[in-house]
Amino acid sequence: MINDLNLITIQEAMNLLQVSRSTIDRWKKSKQLPFIKIGKEIFFHKEDLECWLRSHTKIKDTNTTDHVDETDKIETITIGYQSQTAHMWSSLIMKELCLFEEELSLINPSRKVRVNWVNAANGLELVEGMIAKKVHIASLGDYPIIISHRLSRLLPNFRPILLGFDGKTSQSEGISLVLPRGTDFKDLMDVSGNKITTVMNSSAGYRLNQLLPQIGMGKYEIVDQEMSISFSNIIRRNVGASVMWEPYISLSQSKGATKINVEGFSDDYLTGLVAQEEWAQINEDVIIAYLKAHIRTHLFCREYPLKVSKIINKATGISHDITLNIISKVRWDAAVYSQDLQTLQNFTLDNHSFIPSNQDSTVIQYRGHYLDEACKRLNLARLFERPLQGDWSSELLY
């Protein structure tokens, strides 16, 4: 006990209440168990704890049967992923291999947990789910990561944190301008007067918006469409062009469409994992379990691309040749580099954004101790809490 403040540690609270650590964490989350956070340590005020215990104590009626609420015994953890985005296929692989469930069972074999996998059409849908506290961990593209950070300036109770990265490619490889089969356009200037489709509040939409002022926005009709619809319109030649991400670029090319490399797409394309900070603090063991499964999935993607291709083919119907080609071009690496954070820092929202700009341009908060602890438990080289320096390493991948 910290005598001067009459505070007790988590272990002392567990002994006092005669419950496990997971029960303490669950009560903090669902029953407002009062606690105090000093640095990274959690403490409890003994008098507050005893008062809370009395208020939650029920006197058993010996004349009635004691019914157990089964829903109180099963935890639900919701993971948001995007199977339609190739750079985030690691979540789909993890789901199919049950790696997260396996890591959760290692925490406490008797713990009953249900993992709810939510397959979203785009990142903004997952950001909305996190704000509503319906999604606990989300796989997002770089632009939705920044949107989540900007929204936190409007919503004080929403504090998203970056846990680590997912699929990466340099120079925005994986996002391209795609033209329908049979067009003789050579660059974006030739598309003038035609419709250009993309998902506007996305990594692809951001890059298109950054490019248009350089070539004259009035020359183009920009249409906000889900990527699957844009793909259909490209194949049917209903639009002049579309800014797409993988696997839709490769799928379009397999149908005769043309990919154009655009100079304006110069930022590295990054995808990553985001969680609500308050939830992460309460569920640190769950976060670490997910990151362990995440790193193991990356290793699987790098070492067994043929097996990965088969899993993706079965889940999405995309051919082995296409999935294998895409997988080989993605850097599957959770590690956070200073240059990655700088890339996110460089993102700015356009003047038509529904999110007001302000003086604070700080990038989303990176909490490296979760990823470091996951590496430690997997007996990998430690990342510690700070971003790595220098260029992406060709040997050090997580």
pLDDT for the residue numbered 60: 41
pLDDT at 361: 52
pLDDT tens, position by position, 269-293: 999 999 999 999 999 999 999 999 9
DSSP SS3 for 368: helix
Asked whether residue 83 falls in the same domain as residue 227, the answer is no
- What are the DSSP calls for 186-246, one per residue? -SGGGGTTSEEEE-SSSHHHHHHHHHHHHH-GGG-EEEE--HHHHHHHHHTT-SSEEEEET
Pair 113, 26 in one domain: no
41 and 176 together in one domain: no
Q: What is the DSSP annotation of 110-157?
A: T-EEEEEEEE-SSHHHHHHHHHTT--SEEEEEHHHHHHHHHHHHH-TT
Q: Is the pTM of this model over 0.85?
A: no
Token pair recorded at residue 266:
């110069």
Would residue 360 count as lying in a domain?
yes
Output the domain CATH number for residue 249: 3.40.190.10
**Same domain as 241, residue 114:** no
Per-residue pLDDT for 1 more than 50?
no
Q: Is residue 60 part of a domain?
A: no
Residues 273 and 164 in one domain: yes
Q: Would you say residue 237 lies in a domain?
A: yes
**What's the structural domain count of the chain?**
3
- Evaluate if residue 19 carries a pLDDT over 90: no
Each residue's pLDDT tens digit, 23-64? 777 787 777 788 777 767 787 777 777 777 766 654 444 444
Residue 61 neighbours by CB under 8 Å, 6+ apart:
none
For the record, the structure tokens of 276 come out as 């609500």
- Domain identity same for 298 and 163: yes
Domain match, 321 and 332 both: yes
Same domain, 241 and 166: no
| Per-residue pLDDT tens over the stretch 145-187 | 999 998 888 898 999 999 999 999 998 889 999 999 988 776 6
Q: Name the residue range of residue 50's domain.
A: 7-55
pLDDT tens-place string over residues 288-342: 999 999 999 999 999 999 999 999 999 999 999 999 999 999 999 999 999 999 9
Domain co-membership, 249 together with 272: no
